[in-house]
Amino acid sequence: MGINLKLKRKLAQAYNSPSQKARVLTEGWLKNEAYCPNCGNEYLEKYPNNTPVADFFCENCSEDFELKSKSIGFGKKVLDGEYESMLDRLADAHNPNLFLLSYDLSSYQVSDFLVIPKQFFIPEIIEKRSPLSTTARRAGWTGCNILLDRIPETGKIFLIKDKQIKPKEDVCAVWQKTLFLREERKIQSRGWILDVMRCIELIRKKEFTLADIYKFENMLAIQHPDNRHIKDKIRQQLQILRNRNYIQFTGKGEYRII
């Protein structure tokens, strides 16, 4: 059977708080309808409530997932937890992948459901929020935002988009394509690869040249002010992406996205 986009209203009947209703509805849907984008396992298990960081896990391949949901989509930013804790967990092998689920309250249907694999999380996509005021219950507490527009599109893997279900084999194939990033333990080095991947996407062509990428030299220099050899670094990242079959070198400074 295919994925059912309907949220089961009866799951939330015992709750009065809108946020609690949303949590129960979306977690219930995910447990019944979602699958693991890494191995394709049809069943994701839920961690006990209030488990730090992760909400679901795959018993088959041990991938962890955090779920965030919203009724009107996510825009360019996603509100997350405490800033320093978020930075600390980026280098942790158990940092979860992130599910983002948006739903239509008028029809109680899932509109969009995507996953951002954990290898795309680097400090540059974490924005520090202003501390809570001195009059707040948690005065001084500092949260963060996840900047979705700083993540390459290949790191936003849709299982459902505009209420259209994507084929599972396509979802799993896109997931597998960037797993090589997990082998890069140094977050700064991974950040360089992701920045060049994003530059490739901004060209908006399947085939591109080294000259096309060099046009982003100034942008990359701003993002990496301590590096004085931007073009050398660009070529290094292209070589890494070529070796990992993310792009193909076709000769004479020309490349193709695979």
Name all domains of the chain by residue range, CATH numbers in brackets: 9-178 (3.40.210.30), 187-257 (1.10.10.10)
Q: Between 230-243 and 187-203, two packed helices, what is the crossing angle to 10 degrees?
A: 90
Give the Cβ contact number of residue 223 at 10 Å.
16
Q: Which residues lie across from 240 on neighbouring strands?
A: none
pLDDT (0 to 100) of residue 132: 92
**Nearest to residue 157, comparing CAs of 171, 139, 173?**
171
Residue 1's pLDDT is what?
Answer: 55
Starting at the earlier edge strand, list the strands of the sheet with 143-147.
77-82, 143-147, 126-128
Average pLDDT by consecutive 10-residue portion of the chain (258 residues)? 89 87 94 97 92 92 96 91 93 90 93 97 96 90 96 97 97 97 90 97 96 97 94 97 96 94
Which amino acid would we find at residue 104? D
The C-alpha angle 38, 26, 77, rounded to 5 degrees, equals 75
Q: Answer yes or no: are the C-beta atoms of 101 and 67 closer than 8 Å.
A: yes
**pTM given for the model:** 0.93
**Structure tokens that stand for 238 in this block:** 């292209």
CA 231 to CA 241: how far, in whole Å? 15
